[in-house]
Structure 1
Amino acid sequence: MAERFGGKFSPEPHSPGTTPTLAAAGPEPRHPLAARPIWLVVAAAPFLVSAFSEPPAGLAMDLAAFAAFAAAAFVTREGLRAEAAFNARRVARRPAFPRKALGAVLVGAGLWLGSFAPGAGLFGPIILAALGIALHLVAFGLDPMRDKGMEGIDAFQQDRVARVVGEGEKLLAGMRDAILRARDKKLEARVERFSGAARTLFRAVEDDPRDLTAARKYMGVYLMGARDATARFADLYGTTRDAKARADYEALLADLETNFAAQTRELIENGRENLDIEIEVLRDRLAREGVPSPSTVETK
């Protein structure tokens, strides 16, 4: 029988019967248009092919045009990732930098560089650049322009949460990277499932930044311990294929997943209790001011 992994980084187990029923968050959100930016590079390939048959000035212009398209593909892809993360959250700030808009400008610059010829005038290249910008915006859309669900939320607290969540995501990425050394697809899937439970906790704290204090040890200390344990296990299991070590590691993930889900549920329940308290306080104030509540009116 596998023994439960213990140590200073392991949270205490919850009592039997508290197995979490919350649905774990899935992998990092993916934008439905995430595969499109590569076509910007494909579309710019003729510039790369024709560049080496041009004189030096034409060579530089064509290479610059291709580089602009490649940069546009990169920043557009990053913009789509940021938009997918924005859409996946109920509370989110708009991206700090409009990456998709920058991608559109780079496409326009690439078309201008690729079509410009000395003595041929500027009108044609400018028209092509404007058309490229417009087509990019039609294909990929605009970046999110407004914050979502931020009304009544302390911006400073939200920034703190964003930093802690960012560190938590890095620790999860470290776990996923380390388990690859074990060369076992089932273990990789098991780590990904635990990552989903951790992200569910992240989303709960993002929805209510006041929960950060209660969840911080889970998002930092426990995840750091899980990452370190994963690295040590992967190095051992990758060479020895020790069945007992595997069982112990899977028991550790099960304990962590149970505790993360239980903590998430506790945060949600505390949020409901706080809402009930605020409602009762408001009702008491209204009653003292002589304003009847709807329930009182219905009873009469």
Structure 2
Amino acid sequence: MRERHEPSFKSARRVGTQPASATFSGNTIRPGWLLRGWSLAFLWPLFIRLFGGDGVATAGLLAGGVLLWLAGDLMAAARRIEEELEAGERTLPPRLPRRLAGAVLAGLGAALFSWAGAHDSLFMALLFGVLAATGCRLVYGADPLPDRQALEAAAAQAGVKAPELLAAVEEARAKIRAIEERAAALGSRPLAAKIAAIGARARAVIAQIERDPRDLARARRFLVTYLDGTRDVVARYAEQQHDLAGTGLDESFVRLLDTIEQVFAEQEDVLKRDDRLDLEVKIEVLEKQLRLEGIH
């Protein structure tokens, strides 16, 4: 076994993102509700135009309100994505910049309100649109910037391809999210707690792979085996939870999840030590245990 050393680069944030710059922090404002509230403020003018028979103004006000509401949804989605990046649940932000798209929609909505609701000139409507978009930028900040150079540097240093590394970690994170969502829907607090602990352990292993992906192929096999095993345990429990409550079989599911959690807790150290034999043994042991339980 050889001792594994950390890559030379270090980042204040996780590999793959650069912090978003903002004049005011979007954390201080409940994401999206400012824009949604603004859209609701125009309901009264909308009713006045509607009952007054002004079809063009009604359509403009309605479209503007919808655009502002959608802009609020995008701002809320942007905040969730930022939290996922900070928590290690994502490697890179999505290709569509949510905050930028939300600012554009807010600008269009404001322009429609000005033109249709207040009957302003086209110039004034465009001016209000620009001011609204700029205000969104100041209040909510910018989208996190993808820092693919850092990811590519880590991959190049490890001798693997950056797309392969990105695909591996995103696949693992998607599985974790799917497992957690399914476990939360079961209504079993002990199971949900176990899955949450496994998810945290798995994300720590993924972070280690991002920092030093030299053993990507073997680590990927480990993640696939253990995450698929966890998914199969949750799926089997979902099928049989009413029959298993309070039985020994119910306890066997919990013990199996305990085993998976324990192994995930060990694997970050295993990957650091580059203990390939130990990693292979852990994979084979779990596969055997899952077969014995009739799950895999």
TM-score normalized by the length of structure 1:
0.70
Question: Letter of the aligned partner of 2:173 in structure 1?
Answer: E
Whole-Å Cα distance in 1 between the matches of residues 185 and 46 of structure 2? 43
Rate the CA distance shift 1:35–1:158 in 2: closer, same or farther, 3 A: farther
Whole-Å Cα distance in 2 between the matches of residues 246 and 184 of structure 1? 11
Contact 2:155-2:165 within 8 A present in 1 as well: no
- Give the count of matched residue pairs: 240
Whole-Å Cα distance in 2 between the matches of residues 86 and 245 of structure 1? 37
Alignment identity in percent?
Answer: 25
1:46 aligned to which of 37, 41, 45: 41
Equivalent residues in 2 for 1:171-210, closer than 5 Å: 171-180=175-184, 182-210=186-214
Q: Which residue of 1 aligns with 2:169?
A: 165
Residues 171-225 of structure 1, C-alpha deviations (whole Å, 9 max, x = no match): 2233233334542222211211111111111111122233321211222232112
Q: Which residue of 2 aligns with 1:145?
A: 145
Question: Letter of the aligned partner of 1:78 in structure 2?
Answer: A
Question: Letter of the aligned partner of 2:99 in structure 1?
Answer: K
Q: Which residue of 2 aligns with 1:132?
A: 132
Contact 1:37-1:74 within 8 A present in 2 as well: yes
Rate the CA distance shift 1:144–1:39 in 2: closer, same or farther, 3 A: same
Rate the CA distance shift 1:237–1:221 in 2: closer, same or farther, 3 A: same
Larger relative contact order, structure 1 or 2 (CA cutoff 8 Å, min sep 6)? 1
Rate the CA distance shift 1:33–1:168 in 2: closer, same or farther, 3 A: farther
**Who wins on radius of gyration, i.e. which is larger?**
1
Q: Which residue of 2 aligns with 1:154?
A: 155
Residues 123-173 of structure 1, C-alpha deviations (whole Å, 9 max, x = no match): 322232122112111111112335174462337733223322332233223
Contact 2:114-2:120 within 8 A present in 1 as well: no
SS of match in other structure, 1:142: coil
Q: Does 1:75 align with 2:74?
A: yes
CA RMSD of aligned residues (A): 2.8
Question: Letter of the aligned partner of 2:128 in structure 1?
Answer: L
Question: Letter of the aligned partner of 1:173 in structure 2?
Answer: R
Instruction: Name the stretch that deviates more: 150-159 or 70-79.
Output: 150-159
Contact 1:157-1:210 within 8 A present in 2 as well: no
Q: Does 1:244 align with 2:209?
A: no
Residues 19-42 of structure 1, C-alpha deviations (whole Å, 9 max, x = no match): xxxxxxxxxxxx846832133112
Question: Letter of the aligned partner of 2:46 in structure 1?
Answer: A
Instruction: Name the stretch that deviates more: 137-146 or 114-123.
Output: 114-123
Contact 2:155-2:162 within 8 A present in 1 as well: yes
Rate the CA distance shift 1:237–1:146 in 2: closer, same or farther, 3 A: closer
Instruction: Name the stretch that deviates more: 235-244 or 132-141.
Output: 235-244
Whole-Å Cα distance in 1 between the matches of residues 205 and 34 of structure 2? 37
Rate the CA distance shift 1:257–1:74 in 2: closer, same or farther, 3 A: same
TM-score normalized by the length of structure 2:
0.71
Q: Which residue of 2 aligns with 1:110?
A: 109
